[in-house]
Structure 1
Amino acid sequence: MKRGLGGFTLIEILVALAVVAVALAAGSQATTALMRGAERQGEVWLAQLCAENALTQLRLQRQLPPTGDSSSDCEQGGRRFEVTVSVSPTPNPNFRRVDALVDTGEDNRRYRLVNLSTIQGRY
């Protein structure tokens, strides 16, 4: 009786290659999602710095800020952000609500990154 040579059939090899291809595709998508998340987290952190800087500038003036909106550009880490500071009255005339809104500076994909609020009092 002739005994066959040991080894894998063509079908078994093709199935194994298909499984490996699916696993590699899933791994690639997971890596891409992690990279996007890390990039977004860095962008939000830089925007947070811009918002905190805007609120600190108002605090350092040591006077009750006038009501209204003002916009300025902020560059952090080589990225440009637009900061809008909105000052609104509160029921107590000795305090004002101050909101710092930070958007991306790129016109083709502008969106809100940070909304930071505080209450500032009369000195």
Structure 2
Amino acid sequence: MRPPLRRAHGFTLLETLVALAILAIALTAAFRAMGVAAQSAAELRERLVGDWVAENRLAELRATSAWPGPGSNEGTADQAGRQYRWREEVRNTANPLFRRVDVSVFAPESDTHAVARLSGYLARPLR
């Protein structure tokens, strides 16, 4: 008489493949989430630095008591180790003692998409 067959303990090949497929899907989702988070952080940093450039431009105009004429002006500014391009639009207001200045800041690699926009007002300097 034969001894009864003992069943081997462990996972079958099919169970192992299913577990690996679930693990692969979970890891793919985790890596994608990390990539999106990293990209969002980079975009947020770009906007923050762009805001600094715009604020610095308005502060420079106020500190020098500038009274630019209506129209557009462009320039560049170094910030955080990169060079940003800014464009300002100067407009008259209903009160002739004030002018509105809209500053748009562009990333070094883009000429069309502004990373930051800021508006401010200049008062006519006293003589």
Same fold (TM over 0.5): yes
Question: 2: distance between equivalents of 1:80 and 1:24?
Answer: 38
Question: 1: distance between equivalents of 2:55 and 2:33?
Answer: 33
Matched to 1:20, the amino acid is L
TM-score scaled by length of structure 2? 0.89
Question: 1: distance between equivalents of 2:8 and 2:119?
Answer: 75
Indicate which of 53, 58, 63 corresponds to 2:61: 58
What is the match of residue 84 of structure 1?
A: 87
Post-superposition Cα deviations, 1:85-116, rounded to whole Å, max 9, x if no partner, equal 11101111111111110011225x75210010
Residues 1:114 and 2:99 are matched in the alignment: no
Question: 1: distance between equivalents of 2:100 and 2:20?
Answer: 61
Question: 1: distance between equivalents of 2:82 and 2:26?
Answer: 36
What is the match of residue 71 of structure 1?
A: 74
Residues 1:93 and 2:96 are matched in the alignment: yes
Q: Which of these two proteins has the greater Rg computed from alpha carbons?
A: 2
TM-score scaled by length of structure 1? 0.92
Residues 1:17 and 2:20 are matched in the alignment: yes
Matched to 1:47, the amino acid is G
Is contact 1:81–1:105 with CA below 8 Å preserved after alignment? yes
Gaps of at least 5 residues in structure 1 are none
Is contact 1:103–1:113 with CA below 8 Å preserved after alignment? yes
Matched to 2:84, the amino acid is F
Gaps of at least 5 residues in structure 2 are none
User: Once the 2 structures are TM-superposed, how far is the Cα of residue 3 of structure 1 from its aligned partner?
Assistant: 2.4
- Of all paired residues, the percent bearing the same amino acid is 35
Is contact 1:97–1:119 with CA below 8 Å preserved after alignment? yes
Matched to 2:123, the amino acid is G
